[in-house]
Amino acid sequence: ARRAALGGSRGPGRTADGHPVKLLLNIGSAADLAEGAEGVGLFRTELLFLDRRSAPSFDEQVAAYAEVLAACPDAVIRTLDAGTDKPLPFLGLPPEPNPALGVRGLRVDRVRPAVLDTQLEAVAEAALRTGASPRVMAPMVATRQEAAAFADRARRKGIAHVGVMVEIPSAALQAAELLEEVDFLSIGTNDLSQYAFAADRQHPDLADLLDPAQPALLRLIGMCADAGRAAGKPVGVCGEAAGDPRLAPVLAGLGVTSLSMAAVSVPAVRQALAGHTMAECRRLAGRQEPQK
């Protein structure tokens, strides 16, 4: 029933003149699955294990991923995004002076490689059991080499669709190179803002710098979308910006192919897209020239 519900009765994301922009869900577990979206664009797997003192077993992980894949066979499962800023006690990471700039996201693999291996094996097993074709993506990727190594690991475990998040300006600047290594990009605007503007994403006094309408952030997003178009590969946005109806037409105009958000945001974003033609979206995005 959930699987049918994800198709949604109110239809897919489209501009007024019918250009598709997929509307996807950000979830922390199967409990967050909801009607009305076209799939899952970000499954934050670390949320399953936040209070755990021991590492989640392979079987527990298979069960959690299979529950989501049974409802949404092409869900994008993000590998653990933890570190001293988002601590997972079982990782036993030492305190760091600059947690946001330290060992977090994919970087945890440098010190605890078994964790990623088990997680990728659990995703592959959950896919086999459900007949799904899952997508995995890594958080906090900074270089082409990291993207290539992650893709190689995931593919060796039998996962066919591999992507990386663009959360660090170095990744946005290398979007074309990353897309030579992986199948899709997903832009995490929460962290991309933090790192592009050197502004702690939690800091209440820096909200203006973290505003996703900042031109420098939009330019980074546009660079990724351009690289995606050139490579013929999807480039989505999955940070908070994706759920903002004021920004959705701008992101569509920049060439983003999907927007992934909390379920509550889907109706307003769908409506905002439907209210603008692609030419209007492109004008809002500062791209006057016709699309090639």
What is the smallest separation between the CB atom of 77 and ligand PEP, expressed in angstroms? 13
- Binders of Mg ion among residues 163 to 182 (CB under 5 A) are 167
Work out how close the CB of 216 gets to Mg ion at its nearest, in angstroms, rounded to a whole number.
18
Stretch that binds ligand PEP, among 118-126, 145-153, 185-193, 275-283 (CB under 6 A): 185-193
Which CB sits closer to Mg ion, 139 or 222?
139
Cα(47)–Cα(86) distance, rounded to whole angstroms?
10
- Which of ligand PEP, Mg ion, none lies near 72, with the C-beta cut-off 5 to 8 A by kind? none
189 near ligand PEP, judged by CB under 6 A: yes
155 contacts 96 by C-beta, under 8 angstroms: no
Under the binding rule (CB under 6 A), the answer on residue 190 touching ligand PEP is: yes
Taking CB under 6 A as the criterion, the residue among 147, 238, 261, 266 binding ligand PEP is 238
Nearer to Mg ion, 105 or 228 (CB): 105
For Mg ion, which is the closer residue by CB, 220 or 273? 220
> What are the structure tokens assigned to 251, written together?
């992101």
Among 180, 117, 184, which residue's Cα sits nearest to residue 148? Answer: 180
**Would you state the structure tokens that stand for residue 262, as one six-digit string?**
């909390």
Q: Please tell me whether residue 44 binds ligand PEP under the rule CB under 6 A.
A: yes
**How does DSSP classify residue 20?**
B
The structure tokens listed for 5 are: 């519900």
Binding test (CB under 6 A) with ligand PEP, winner from 41, 56, 212, 239: 239
Long-range pairs of 142-150 with CB within 8 A, sequence gap ≥ 24: 142/168, 142/170, 142/171, 143/170, 143/171, 143/174, 144/174, 144/177, 144/178, 144/180, 144/181, 146/106, 147/171, 147/178, 147/181, 147/182, 148/181, 150/106, 150/182
Strand residue runs (E) in 46-146? 76-78, 135-138
Of 138 and 159, the one with the shorter C-beta distance to ligand PEP is: 138
Selected binder of Mg ion within 191, 228, 233, 238 (CB under 5 A): 191
Residues that bind ligand PEP (CB under 6 A): 42, 44, 81, 167, 188-191, 238-239
